[in-house]
Amino acid sequence: MRHAVCRSVPTNQGGGTRRYTRVALDRRACFWVSAGVVAHVLWTSAAPAMTYRLYASEWHLTSTTTAAIFAIYPVVVVGVLILFGGLSDKIGRRATMLLGLGASFLGALILALAPDVSWLFVAPAFMGVGVGLTAGPSTAAMVEFNEGSSPRRASVVATAAQAAGFAAALIVGGALTQYEAIARALE
C-alpha cells in the first residue's frame, strides 16, 4: 500500500543521539482525514452564526451591527479564495489545510472569549480565512487520495462530509445555543 503525508518524528535511541522515523498515513487514511477537513469547513461556516443572536441580545447590538458581523465572514472567504486559492499548489495541501485549521481554531477561540463587540468582527474574519484556505485543498486531496475504480467516490464522500458538517453545526450548535439561552433566562 502506498503511503502519503509523511513527516519525520524524532526518537531517542540511547546515548543522546536523535534518529528520525517516518510516520505515514496510507492513502485511505489521508482520504478520510481530508473528508474530516471538508466536514470541518461546513461546521465552521454555519456554527458561529447561531451565537450572534445571543451576543446581540446581551450587548444590545443594532440590526446593522449584527448584519455587519455576518457580512465579514463571506467577504473574507471570497477574498482568501481569490488571493490565496493557489497556495496549496505552492506550499502543499497539508500545510495549507493546517494553516486553515489553525485560523479556524483561532477564530472560534476569539468568538468564545469575546469581551466586547469588536472581537465579533475579528472572529469571523479568522474563520473566513480558515474556510478559504481549507475548502479547496481538502476536496482536492480527497480526489488525489481516492482509491478504487470509481472516480465519483471522492465527490460523493465530499458531498456527504459537507452535509454532515452542516448538519452537525445546526444540530449541535443549535442545541448548545439554545441551552445557553435557557441558562441565561434562568439567571
pLDDT tens across 59-110, in order? 999 999 999 999 999 999 999 999 999 999 999 999 999 999 999 999 999 9
Q: Are 66 and 52 in contact (CB under 8 A)?
A: yes
The yes-or-no verdict on residue 53 having pLDDT over 60 is: yes
Residue 9 located in a structural domain: no
The yes-or-no verdict on residue 39 having pLDDT over 60 is: yes
The yes-or-no verdict on residue 33 having pLDDT over 80 is: yes
Domain, as residue range, for 66 = 27-186
Residue 150 located in a structural domain: yes
Q: 129 falls in which pLDDT band (50, 70, 90)?
A: very high
Residue-level pLDDT at 51: 86
Does the pTM surpass 0.85? The reply is no
Residue 109 located in a structural domain: yes
C-alpha cell of residue 49? 452564526
Residue 37 located in a structural domain: yes
Burial class (CB within 10 angstroms; exposed 0-12, middle 13-18, buried 19+) of 40 = buried
C-alpha cell of residue 12? 531517542
Mean pLDDT lowest among 50-59, 92-101, 146-155: 146-155
Residue-level pLDDT at 1: 42
Residue-level pLDDT at 115: 93
Residue 15 located in a structural domain: no
Q: Across residues 12-24, what is the average pLDDT?
A: 56
Q: 9 falls in which pLDDT band (50, 70, 90)?
A: very low
Q: By C-alpha distance, which of 160, 132, 148 is closest to 36?
A: 160
The yes-or-no verdict on residue 12 having pLDDT over 80 is: no
Provide the domain count of the chain: 1
Residue 38 located in a structural domain: yes
The yes-or-no verdict on residue 7 having pLDDT over 50 is: no
Residue 180 located in a structural domain: yes
Residue-level pLDDT at 22: 57
Q: Across residues 127-153, what is the average pLDDT?
A: 89
The Cα-based distances of 1 to 25, 36, 147 in angstroms read 10, 22, 11
Q: 178 falls in which pLDDT band (50, 70, 90)?
A: confident
Residue 14 located in a structural domain: no
